[in-house]
């Protein structure tokens, strides 16, 4: 397979906490071949299988594999969008209100980074890419992020660099995520030189919206009145809570996993009608999983599950840009490995 830069790369990667395969799409784009997938959510597994029919069985709970990494095939690159809830602003606030621990103290999710680290330690992939929410850098006054970087650099011995990237340069959505890239050998890789188009020149919502949309996506009078009242109440208190109303010339807020509840963060204006939610297929375009007029991203699940899946996913064109930036460095390590084996 030939990458967009014209360089042939043949490498194997694994897709951990895979969701619906956003990271996978980016690294297949530069010639990678997925040899192992782990995703515990059964609905995400359905969507994954529908869109990657050549994929082998999707494995579930990562703990089984971190405890016995030999179960995972050898690979050149490890991809992991390890769950962000313990490190996100919303997740931390919710856990604090419930009196529950978060971050590395969270028994259920906070240790999933360490499961990833165990697999890296065992397999020593040539490179890895980890993805998380922007707030990871600030969680627990920066201690969480410092621990992660220390583990990757000092305990595992990787050359590591990271950067927060805004998706607005590629899709009509302001979505900031942190990407952490690592290389096993000494590398000149740096995110400083990645080519990121100017966000102000990025596409607008009109590029992903359909003209003919089922009325079921239009808000009921009851819900629309509630959202307007909710916004007024919080504006009076000086808070910024409320809905986001957008037209075809705008760039949307971040799509979240809670979008299925009321769609309030991204409502689309309609003439002489209440605003509407985005359709799941429009969300697929907003996240870069498909292009308007191109092949549809298959959604064998309910709208509720589709909204959750896209809200938890990565923006595919951003991952493609990161993969292209990592490509020559991955290629050099793969070539070095092949030469050493000959």
CB-based contact 28:37 (threshold 8 Å):
no
Pairing of strands 127-133, 77-80: parallel
Query: For the stretch 50-88, what's the b/e string if a residue is b when 16 or more beta carbons lie within 10 angstroms of its beta carbon?
Result: ebbeebeebbeebeebbeeeeebeebbbbbbbbbbbbbb
SS (H, E, C) 16-78: ECCCCCHHHHHHHCCCEEEEEEECCCHHHHHHHHHHCCCCCCCECCCHHHHHCHHHCCCCCEE
Q: Which residues contact 239 (CB under 8 A, 6 or more apart)?
A: none
Q: What is the rounded CA–CA span in Å between residue 101 and residue 93?
A: 11
Question: Are 333 and 14 spatial neighbours (Cβ–Cβ below 8 Å)?
Answer: no
Beta-carbon contacts of 126 under 8 Å, excluding residues fewer than 6 positions away, are 11, 76, 77, 183, 184, 185, 330, 333, 334, 337
Give the contacts of 92 (CB within 8 A, at least 6 positions apart). Answer: 86, 102, 103, 135, 139
Instruction: For residue 84, indicate whether it is catalytic.
Output: yes
Give catalytic residues, as residue numbers. Answer: 84
């Amino acid at each position: 397979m030939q990458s967009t830069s014209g360089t042939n790369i043949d490498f194997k990667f694994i897709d951990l906490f895979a969701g619906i395969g956003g990271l996978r799409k980016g690294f297949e784009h530069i010639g990678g071949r997925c040899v192992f997938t782990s995703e515990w959510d059964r609905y995400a597994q359905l969507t994954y299988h529908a869109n990657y029919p050549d994929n082998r069985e999707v494995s579930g709970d990562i703990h089984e594999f971190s405890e016995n990494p030999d179960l995972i095939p050898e690979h050149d690159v490890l991809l992991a969008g390890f769950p962000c809830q313990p490190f996100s602003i919303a997740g931390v606030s919710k856990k604090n209100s419930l009196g529950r621990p978060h971050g590395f103290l969270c028994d259920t999710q906070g240790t999933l980074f360490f499961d990833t680290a165990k697999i890296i330690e065992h397999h020593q992939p040539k490179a890895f890419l980890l993805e998380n929410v922007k707030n990871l850098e600030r969680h627990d006054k920066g201690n969480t992020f410092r621990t992660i970087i220390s583990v990757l650099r000092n305990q595992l011995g990787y050359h590591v660099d990271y950067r927060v990237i805004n998706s607005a340069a590629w899709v009509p959505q302001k979505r900031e995520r942190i990407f952490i890239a690592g290389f096993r050998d000494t590398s000149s890789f740096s995110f400083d030189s990645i080519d990121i188009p100017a966000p102000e020149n990025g596409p607008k919502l009109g590029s992903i919206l359909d003209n003919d949309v089922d009325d079921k996506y239009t808000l009921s009078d009851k819900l629309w009145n509630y959202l307007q009242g909710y916004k007024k109440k919080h504006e009076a208190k000086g808070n910024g809570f409320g809905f986001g109303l957008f037209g075809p010339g705008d760039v949307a807020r971040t799509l979240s996993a809670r979008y299925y509840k009321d769609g309030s963060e991204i409502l689309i204006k309609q003439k002489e009608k209440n605003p509407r939610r985005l359709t799941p297929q429009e969300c697929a375009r907003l996240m870069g999983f498909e292009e308007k007029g191109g092949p549809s991203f298959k959604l064998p699940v309910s709208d509720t599950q589709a909204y959750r899946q896209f809200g938890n996913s990565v923006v595919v064109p951003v991952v493609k840009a990161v993969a292209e930036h990592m490509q020559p460095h991955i290629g050099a390590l793969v070539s070095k490995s092949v030469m050493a084996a000959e």
